[in-house]
Structure 1
Amino acid sequence: MSTEDFTLSFPEDEKVLVTGGSGFVGSHTAVRLLREGHRVRVAVRGPAQEAQVLAALQQAGVDPADLLEFAAADLSADDGWAQAMDGIAHVLHHASPFPPTPPETEDEVVLPARDGALRVIAAARSAGIPRVVMTSSFAAVGYTLTPDNHYTEANWTDPDTPGLPAYHKSKVLAEAAAWDYVRANGGIELAVVNPTGIFGPQLVDRPSGSIGLIKALMAGEMSVVPVWNFGVVDVRDVVDLHLRAMLHPKAGASGSLPTADRRACSSSRISFASTSPPRPTGCPPRNWPSSRYARRRRPSQLCGTPPFWRAGSPTSATRRPAPSSAGSPWTSATPSWQPLRA
């Protein structure tokens, strides 16, 4: 699917619902849409998130005027989603919990991510909205290693992988449930974006997981710096790809794996200014398993995506079908599904 000659434009009276508008990607999405004169409704849990969205717009120098409105809706509850979809033409679903520290139980992260995605898609379908674009993650694709360290739409992270953080598992199961719902019910298209480590200007007070990694490195919060290599992508490019997936006629039932280029970011290439906190003194050998280190760090300090590159524009292959979230035990040895390609 070529998008090189595709114009990112749509009627200004078509309103876009953005979930997760107080987050890293969602705030940049709101900025982009409002800056270009489009009408935006942001779904928020309450007044605190509403204030965070307004602060992000102010940080970006954007005056929303009468183009911005809010709707109260929570990923963990049915209330509010039907009203949030009223009068909406496009849905960009960014919202998903990313706790700064490991949760007490996986369900604190998995359930709102999975059930929230289903609530958004079901409400959009009931409202007659033709497509939802969902933000997933490379965490849902590439944390079950492949023999050649390359990843495509056919790859899934096995959620039963020992030591897999709750956030990573939530992204797998939320995306799997979303594809399963669309395949089972029809009546709506789904496009999914699976970014690698997202970096760029910070518009909100809470650092994202990727930004938190850099903050931890620069603040001297890590006693050991593992030999990391991981894919990176600019948050503004991630937003651009979501908008292309929202508008391009061939983007339904598709997904993309955005990363910058063949060169991955490496922790060994991050320099420390002389005025910064002391540089971490520990440096493990290059063959030291990063998972040994990862188990000792909180999720906000992890961005260990293996480097990968998928040539071409947002995919011509059908995004992988998902196993039922209530299906048989899912292990890499006995998958309950098979990849389907266009």
Structure 2
Amino acid sequence: MPAQHHVLIVGAGSIGLRHLRCFLATERTAISFVEPREEVRQSIIAEYPAAVGYASLEAALAAAKFDGAVIATPAPMHVPQAIQLLECGLHLLIEKPLTLDIASAEALAAAAAESSSVIGVAYVYRANPLLAQMRDAILSGEYGRPVELIAYGGQNFPTYRPAYRDTYYRDHANGGGAIQDALTHLFNAGQWLIGEMEKIVVDADHMILDGVDVEDTVHALARYSGGIMATYTLNQHQAPNEMSFTVVCQRGTLRWEPTQNRFRIATEPDAGWQEIQIEPLQRDELFARQANSFLDAMEGKSAPLCSLAEGVSTLRANVAALDSWRSGAWRSTSL
């Protein structure tokens, strides 16, 4: 079947390549990409002969017509490129973090208000079917009002991102460090489950990761709308790859454990958990689901998994968390 769309991947680092691979796998779109390094560009074309490579965004826009784009460049480039592509009428999927500051996010929101394009932010946890099921259970009201969120994550970052020392991760100014790179995913998932964060206090430090100075360990307390309390704990150096989200409601406790491929519910003391287990998801599966969801949004079939407004809300949590860590004080997300 001929491709229905033509999507441009802007930035062909590790995450850009994953988007390229997963959009191709949908068999719904032709793919082009932007990579200024000639040697890298040619190696990608050799591996993915269906893709067309360009040395710059300007060269791509001059040479072909696109209806969508994925922005996977370093975070400071996201907003200028997004506004440029909006002016060309493209639908956009923008990698996290959306940007680094609220002012640029508001500039993007203003440009988006003048456009009919779909804009999504690539918080890929929302593509996990078990997290969606947990959210539906919370929103159903069956378990009462949420009162507490406990989020925990840890993994050996060099195992999954061996080149981290040579990427944006090493510099806050490029969107690096554990808060902007990893904890932001947890913030976004928490927002999806229980609503808007109102304030946060953070302790963080560089504890172990070799070759960088940015924080690799973060502890945070937060308050959400409706008085919901939250705790976030994350490190990027432990041996086991673990994650869990627990939401304590008035009449039940719900827990998502993505590394165990399960969602659990407990409603009675000492009665054990009710478990919903699925087969392990392949490494690219969430990104493939995200790609299909974005193409559906482009076609008007559904909303983006994470809207621009929701991405801006998560950015406010990022900014408040960094400010709290540096100041040693509670910080509001509304500033």
Q: Return the structure number with greater helix share.
A: 2
Q: Same fold (TM over 0.5)?
A: no
TM-score by length of 1: 0.37
Specify which structure has the higher proportion of strand.
2
TM-score of the superposition, structure 2-length normalised? 0.38
